[in-house]
Chains A and B, each alone.
Chain A
Amino acid sequence: MVPELGQFALVLALCIALVQSILPLVGAARGNAAWIAVARPAAQAQCLFIVFAFGCLTYAFVSNDFSVIYVAEHSNTELPLAYRVAAVWGGHEGSLLLWTMMLGLWMFAVSIFSRSLPEEMVARVLGVMGMIAIGFLLFMLLTSDPFTRLLPAAANGRDLNPLLQDPGMVFHPPMLYMGYVGFSVAFAFCMAALIDGRLDATWARWMRPWTTVAWSVLTLGIALGSAWSYYVLGWGGWWFWDPVENASFMPWLVGTALVHSLAVTEKRGAFRSWTVFLAILAFSLSLLGTFLVRSGVLTSVHAFAVDPKRGIFILAFLAVVVGASFTLFAWRASKVGLGGRFALVSRESMLLTNNALLLVAAGAVLLGTLYPLVLDALNLGKISVGPPYFDAVFVPLIAPALFLMGIGPLARWKKASAPDLALRLRWALAVSFAAAILVPLLMGHWSSMVGFGIFLASWIAASSLVSFKAQFAHVPKGQVGARLAQLPRSYYGMILAHLGVAMFIVGVALVKGYEVESDVRMDVGDTAHLHDYTFRFASIDKVNGPNYTADRGTIVVTRSGAPVVTLHPEKRLYTVQNMPMTEAAIDAGFFRHIYVALGDSLSPTSWVVRLYYKPFVSWIWGGCLLMGIGGLLAAFDRRYRVRARAGAAQAAAAAGLNAAAAR
């Protein structure tokens, strides 16, 4: 009964989506207030029905209803409750429902937090989002219904893929999807503005917090996925340039460009068509990512679907969305205008360069991801493009953008003076050079790659400090506290996110430069040495988990005689699917990880063991966390709400304050 209710709720949501995407748009065009007013309640009702459907599917999982095919394929009575809930998005149908629910929640949020927007604007934004919802609801109902029954019901389920039975599974997909789908809001705002023909600083200010939140959540989602693959796949790598990872990384790169271009549009009214272009591109790449991951053209842990109908549907949907939005863009963009002029050396020009570099980098990733697929689809041979390509391309493209990150926040809008900038940044530059030489030497040996990474990281950090210190240039001693409180949250957010990038680079450079790994054969009682650490293989025992059996090793790690930690890596065998899995054991410190994984068993007491020493690896995710928090902080800047409550005068004051901070 419950699954049928869920299905019915999806059909109702589809009907509402149809209404939501027609009436408000027509109403806005004709100035019909009653039709415009449909937008908000329709979005809220639609969200409610999708959430209800999601609840129904969750109920089916929790109550072990194996008469639903999807549940029978992805769950099992022995699966722990938390994973039964997470298993809702453990397969194709459920993850689509999650996608759609995220869209519903974003629509709901837009309908609530848009009191300050003109009604026609809200109507158009929600109307466009309704159209996207139609696409996904149709996709679900026509090709991938999660509520399809299995008659007679299965006695028990096939269990969730063991790789997915991990706390990461609970958080990574919802976060990632929330970020992906969040770009639909930016997209809808742009479509609405193109229809309206009104793109100005006010419009950019409406759109900006939504985009920043989506970007922050996407950042966190990607970082979670990276951390997950680090400890679950047992290879100790944090990024593989796998097409699935690239699928989420391309929207992130374009989204990063969009966040910065929006800053120019809001502050200076420039880059308008460029911003619109980026918003369309970011959302299109999100859809492309969904297509790549969900259509079965890629084979990985994420690719569930092998039904060609699904691939064709998403591809067609992608074509319609991309085609329609770029047509609208081509038709209306000329009305948008270009905005204010700026000099060769100015904050605008630097942000433009950063945008161009990010976009080229995204293009390079796209080429490396799609080319093998296209070649294969055309039967021209099988090739693969591995990490060496991405490493070779990505570093030289992004390095100049990272260097500009140090200068940009200090440069004035419109026209900056190069000598003045050089003067203000001379100490930051000196410190960065010193760090680039000293840090690698302290770590053991100097290498140009590590030195370069450390240089960029210290450059970003040091110039952020210079920028921060400049905020207090003319503040009397007693009022430093007041000034601290007066600085807008968006400024703190920017500094924090930039420091996050610096932290990330430190992590990447030091892990790449100084990680040590070794695969050794160990019998019980043997010791092995790695870096400064001694690993003693104390014992191996059989243990039983809820739905697996495992060999559990005990490895005692010491450093010059003193105990460091005792690790318990496991080799599990998940009984339902008879699938083996390596469960690595990690001692996660702030400055280093010790990572131990069991390889193959040679005899009951003799194993191949993989040992890793990974310095500063946690800084990679720590940096992403800072970026995410920084973004969220900026998105909740007071000025976006001040505008909601009071009139333009107060907003102007806030903008003035902001401009002061920017200087």
Chain B
Amino acid sequence: MGLLQGASELFPVSSLGHAVLLPSLLHWAFKQSDPSFVPFLVLLHLGTATALLILYRDEWIVIVRGFVAAAIRGQIRTDTERLAMLLLVGTIPAGVLGVFLESRIKSLFASPYEAAVFLIVNGALMLGFEVVRRRAERRSGRPGSSRPEDEERFAHAERISFRAAALVGACQALAFLPGISRSGVTIGGGLLAGLQHREAARFSFLLATPVILAAGLVEVPQLFSNGVPVGEYVGGACLAGVAAYASARFLLRYFRSGRLDPYGWYCVAAGLASLALLRFGA
């Protein structure tokens, strides 16, 4: 479960959707209503957030310094300060929607059938993002140019507008629906805002870190409730962290020239297969 959560949290394939679907399809004796499930999930998220912090450790130091400097000065002077403020602007809508809507939405759509349907919707969204992106590339592109050349015509994360950062941040709320991928919708939102694929993934990962970390840290006291096997859960969290780190490295390399389409097709296929298995019995 730790490996699954760590890998699928950053891949645009919905970790929540897989967490709802797989135990049901594989008949794992694993209940999400169990009181010890929340602490387990908390530790897995902390593992993922730690992996992202390690991956971007140098960048986070510069971002935090830039944030403090720009906040005190009341003025943005460098790209890093702008990125720090963009992350704040993107995090606020995600935080507001997360605190007020997350548990309500999750409880409304917690069944495997709904997760499978939303997984198909997620796939359609990924494919849709790429259709829009290809149009933008055709409008601005030169015939015969290579993929890396096409990508170079699009922006870095620091150049996104504040309104776009807020919209990308708000897109994260869609991921409360099991089957919709947080990284998928934020990478897609970044593409619509005119970012390079790799930069959209980078912005998505940077945006995810404070939200995942804060959500995890706030729930830490639950780990110390009676009957929680902390040792086993920490093992799961370490695996989640390793999987998340490897996934992020892979995705950042992949998005130098890769697109969202394979993940879109995977989600559509996995959603349809899950629906069939749930309907006719695995």
Are A and B a genuine interacting pair, yes or no?
no
